[in-house]
Amino acid sequence: MSVVGATLPGMTEELWVRVHRGTQEIGGTCIELEAGGARLVLDVGRPLSARAGDAVELPAVRGLASGDDPSLLGVVISHGHLDHYGLLDQVSPDVPVFAGKAAAAVVEAARFFSPGPSLRPTVHLADRVPLRIGPFTVTPYLVDHSAFDAYALQIDACGRRVFYTGDLRGHGRKSVLFERLVAEPPEHVDTLIMEGTHVRASADDVPAQRTESEADVERAIAGTLRATRGLVVVAASAQNVDRLVSCYRAARRAGRTLLVDLYGVAVAQATSRSSIPQPGFPSLGVWVPRRQKLRVLRSGEFRRTAEVRGLRVFDEQIAARPDRYAIYTGSSSIAELAAGALDASGAVIWSMWSGYLSEASGTRLRGLCAAKRIPFVEHHTSGHASVADLRRLCAAIDARAVVPIHTEGAARYGDFFPRAAERRDGDWWAA
């Protein structure tokens, strides 16, 4: 156990908690804890409702922006999604940050292609390795989620125990982590702060009894690849490492070579996991979209293309044999491909949240595919646990209180989980 910070004077006998954002919305999560005159923050997320370019203020945590309050001992980031760390660039560099090592590396690799805050961890989190931060003992639990190196967090202080799930699921490629958490849950939890993305606000919206797994997505993608004569483009997030694995396995099953772009290469290499598909894997090549070529040119980072020179597949090669390839890239590259090898004999697979399709860029993409008669299909599954799996987790942990977070259905927690205790943003309460 490593020790960071020091216990401050004015200790109280209780562990206090307040959620600054998240009790009534999905994303933008931020939680503050106080014990013994010291404070700790869990996540500083950017709200999903904020549009690109919108200014979003930090939650009202004393010393978070200024770094001049010694009672604030740090910020613990559960995982590398912007709705959990996206305001970190407004946090004073004097405030320590705790995050997973691989999560920080993936976020740093992504910043070249998609500028955003760095996780800049002072100390790295490790699975089930307790970390002492002043009067707090933080124990991270590696979980199954669509972000790489994601953690749930157990916090002990003043004889009380809080367990914050962060974002998690039980149907991904790392579902064994969820099953382990259910089989070996933290004991004697006073308050379970549990994400409920799939707990809906309306009683008319009945939760699905079964959620498609990543294995189901892999099979569906493989089926589309086999059934399609031309080029298939998978529109997906480069940072969804589980989905990259699913697509690579699907391409192999269908006898195709998977092409990833430079963003995907950078993220895969940043995981430092030899099991993640990356340059050197059989039947894996690299296609570089125009916007990434320009980024390399303007930055002068020519090593990025030099390192994959022998693996690159160019537009004319794809056009000559489109049936040989599947491309894993961002949706912004599809128009470029549709001007070349991608035509009505091929297909676009949308492998992200369907809500993005209602945004302007999604509408344009659907219109493009319709105009060119390119088949458009969706093969995706959520990064968040089904209600059925949350109920299993809740029963296993058996906390004295279950507090909703990362949900629009807080008022309905009592329909699914015993001892549900709805809280309001900004209110302090004893754990």
Q: What is the pLDDT along the chain (431 residues), one digit of tens a residue?
A: 544 444 433 445 799 999 999 999 999 999 999 999 999 999 999 999 888 888 899 999 999 999 999 999 999 999 999 999 999 999 999 999 999 999 999 999 999 999 899 999 999 999 999 999 999 999 999 999 999 999 999 999 999 999 999 999 999 999 999 999 999 999 999 999 999 999 998 877 777 767 899 999 999 999 999 999 999 999 999 999 999 999 999 999 999 999 999 999 999 999 999 999 999 999 999 999 999 999 999 999 999 999 999 999 999 999 999 999 999 999 999 999 999 999 999 999 999 999 999 999 999 999 999 999 999 999 999 999 999 999 999 999 999 999 999 999 999 999 999 999 999 999 999 99
Whether residues 415 and 272 fall in one domain = no
Whether residues 11 and 145 fall in one domain = yes
Whether residues 198 and 334 fall in one domain = no
Q: Which of 402, 406, 425 is nearest to 415 (CA)?
A: 402
Whether residues 393 and 412 fall in one domain = yes
Domain end point (choices 363, 378, 393): 378
Whether residues 138 and 278 fall in one domain = no
Could you please report the per-residue DSSP string of 54-109? ---PPPS-TTTTT---TTEEEEE---S-HHHHTTGGGS-TTS-EEEEHHHHHHHHH
Whether residues 369 and 400 fall in one domain = no
* Pair 88, 95: CB distance under 8 Å: no
Whether residues 17 and 77 fall in one domain = yes
* pLDDT tens-digit map of 352-363: 999 999 999 999
Element (H, E) at 251: helix 241-253
CATH number at residue 101: 3.60.15.10
In the sheet where 72-76 sits, what is the strand order? 123-125, 97-100, 72-76, 38-42, 30-35, 16-21, 429-430
Whether residues 367 and 404 fall in one domain = no
Does a structural domain hold residue 390? yes
Whether residues 356 and 393 fall in one domain = no
CATH number at residue 340: 3.40.50.10710
The first and second tokens of residue 371, run together, are 């105009």
Does a structural domain hold residue 109? yes
Domain count of the fold of the chain: 2
* pLDDT tens-digit map of 320-350: 999 999 999 999 999 999 999 999 999 999 9
Q: Which of 328, 330, 369 is nearest to 346 (CA)?
A: 369
Whether residues 374 and 394 fall in one domain = no
- Give dist(CA 305, CA 286) in Å, integer: 9
Enclosing domain of residue 64: 2-204+384-430
Whether residues 262 and 368 fall in one domain = yes
Whether residues 103 and 141 fall in one domain = yes
Does a structural domain hold residue 209? no
Q: Which of 278, 286, 281 is nearest to 309 (CA)?
A: 286
